[in-house]
A and B are shown apart, each in its own frame.
Chain A
Amino acid sequence: MAVLRHAALVAWKDLRIELRSREIIYTMAFFGALLVVIFTFAFPQDARAVRGAIPGMLWVAIAFTGTIGLGRAFDRERENDTMRALLLAPVPRLAVFLGKAVATAFLVLAVAAVCAPLLALFLGVPLFAHPLPMILIVVLGAIGIAVIGSVFAATLLKVRSRDVLLPVILYPLLVPLFVAGTKCTAALVAEIPNFDNAWYWIQFLGIYDAAFLVLSIWVFESLVIE
């Protein structure tokens, strides 16, 4: 479909720029690593307490770095008003949305790929004992952040106070995503992993992502065109 092709063009443009400068990846990854270090100091070295706190640490790191990366990725479109050029193109506007969302999802995943192993390393918790469900929940989380984040980052592009409004809008809406992520991670990391519970949360997040993807496709143009 033409929409997907155009979305791929937009996504590839973003990823190519990012691969070239690596600005967002480096800064996000570094910030994520710093968060992990702060967390290790903030929590006692008692193994059981730490095991309980790991899911929260991971998802807080994903939340913060994800929001920052999102802001930066869309800031690029402000620099020379290139967002206007994208919206002016004869492609369906939702192709622009899909392209930016895909690129953002990759950025968030890249940061998660840095934070998760670091957490596992510093705190000695086997985050990847069950790699498949773990990767699945992180991917679904990244998609959710990218989808909802892209809608509002694009909407706020020319709005006053956008830097502070983006988290104000995003965090309440993303709460179910973070709860699902932490509960699933907790179920996988526990002494006796609870796969049923983990699978329930994976499904939950899958439906959440699907619902908001459909909603975003539906309202994106209305929200972004002034």
Chain B
Amino acid sequence: MTALDQVQIRKIAKRYGHERALAGVTLDLTARSMCAVLGHNGAGKTTLLGVVSTLVRPTGGTVAYRAQGSLVTGAEVRREIGMLAHASLCYGDLSARENLALTAGLYGIDGSPTAVDAALDRVGLDRKARDRQARTYSRGMVQRLALARALLTRPSLLLLDEPFTGLDRDGAIALGEQLGALRDAGAIVVVVTHDLEAIAGRTDHVAILRRGQLVFEERGTYTYEQLKTVYHRHAN
């Protein structure tokens, strides 16, 4: 497996019909780093994530994915991507085990009951619920399933779109810790969020978008107060 260690985003532009979502965004993402992408609604954060996840084709610019210097393209890039969004990306009509087995099949990895159960153990999904249809799960359980699905394929590029929405304080802290651990293990983590408190102290790279443009970028750790200041100064 070619684990990605670099994502080079160069002058990405995206236009939807008449609307301009992104205008010339240039950003470098590296391994063992968690980048927080901040900005108001409509600033282009979700579009940027869409472009990086190969689900949105940019109208200009390029994205280069590298593993130890060499370029990775096509389906091999998608193999390395894990996504966690506000939606669960799981089928409500299938059980947790079936969802993970399907994902394993699509990614060509071990989908045996042992592997699936191990992944579900790691997120702490109740054993008794694993064979029930996912639509019967509570919000917290759905989150765990979504996380298990995202991590099952051991992605080196983890993309998160508003992952803290709907989580209570403890849940947000727990998720933040898990993301930190993944980052320390070598992954490239990108978090699009409004919840400055949840990522405070964990992120080492901040990018702020405003009206489709990158108006602020800096590497370094930020406390909650620092994040708030920098956000209010640049996001407006």
Q: Is A79 part of the binding interface, using a Cβ–Cβ cutoff of 8 Å?
A: yes
Q: A80-B89, A91-B106 are in contact. List 7 more A-B contacts (CB 8 A).
A: A17-B91, A20-B93, A85-B149, A86-B106, A90-B75, A91-B75, A225-B54
Contact B94 A13 (CB under 8 A): yes
A6 CB within 8 Å of chain B? yes
| Given A88-B53, A90-B78, A226-B56; A17-B89 close (CB under 8 Å) | no
Specify which chain A residues have a CB less than 8 angstroms from the CB of B81 in the assembled complex.
88
Residues of B within 8 A of A226 (CB): 16, 50, 55-57
> Digit string of A13-34 for contact with B (CB within 8 Å is 1, else 0)?
1001100110000000000000
For the complex, give the distance between the alpha carbons of A167 and B90 in Å.
Answer: 28
Q: Are A88 and B78 in contact (CB under 8 A)?
A: yes
A195 CB to closest chain B CB (Å) equals 44
Number of B residues with CB within 8 Å of any CB on chain A? 29
Summed over the interface, the residue pairs from A and B with CB atoms below 8 Å come to a total of 72
Residues of B within 8 A of A (CB): 16, 50, 53-57, 75-76, 78-79, 81, 83, 85, 87-94, 102-103, 105-108, 149
The closest CB in chain A to the CB of B16 belongs to: A226
- Chain B: minimal CB distance from A39 (Å): 33
Kindly state whether residue A92 has any CB partner on chain B within 8 Å. Answer: yes
Q: Among residues 192 to 226 in chain A, which have CB atoms less than 8 Å away from a CB atom of chain B?
A: 225-226
Chain A hits for B88, CB < 8 A? 80-81
Evaluate contact between A84 and B91: CB separation under 8 angstroms.
no
B89 contacts A225, CB within 8 Å? no
Residue of B nearest to A225 (CB): B57
What is the chain B residue whose CB lies nearest that of A81? B87
Known contacts A82-B89, A226-B50: does B57 contact A89 (CB below 8 Å)? no
Q: Do residues A9 and B78 form an inter-chain contact, with CB atoms below 8 A?
A: no
Q: How far is the CA of A69 from the CA of B89 in the complex (A)?
A: 22
Beta-carbon contacts of A71-97 to B below 8 Å, as 1s and 0s?
Answer: 000001001111011111111100000
Residues of chain B within 8 A (CB-CB) of A79 are 92
Q: Which residues of A lie under 8 Å from residue B57 when comparing CB positions?
A: 225-226
24 CB contacts below 8 A, A to B, read A6-B105, A9-B102, A13-B102, A16-B94, A20-B93, A80-B90, A80-B92, A81-B85, A81-B88, A82-B91, A84-B83, A84-B87, A85-B103, A86-B106, A88-B53, A88-B54, A88-B55, A88-B78, A89-B107, A91-B106, A225-B54, A225-B55, A226-B16, A226-B55
A interface residue numbers (CB < 8 A to B): 6, 9-10, 13, 16-17, 20-21, 76, 79-82, 84-92, 225-226
Complex Cα spacing A82 to B87, Å: 8
Is the beta-carbon distance between A90 and B106 smaller than 8 angstroms?
yes
Report the minimum CB–CB distance from B97 to chain A (whole Å): 13
CA distance A80 to B103 in the complex (A): 15
Assembled-state Cα–Cα distance A225/B81 (Å) = 17
Complex Cα gap A124–B46 (Å): 58
Q: Separation in Å of the A224 CB from the closest CB of chain B?
A: 9
B18–chain A nearest beta-carbon distance, Å: 14
CB distance from A201 to the nearest CB of B (A): 38
Q: Give bound CA distance, A128 to B92, whole Å.
A: 40
Count chain B CB atoms within 10 A of each CB in A76, A86, A91, A92 and give the residue with the most: A91
Chain B residue numbers with a CB within 8 Å of A10 are 106
- Nearest first, the 9 A-B pairs at minimum CB distance are A81-B87, A90-B79, A89-B106, A85-B89, A90-B75, A17-B93, A90-B78, A80-B88, A80-B87
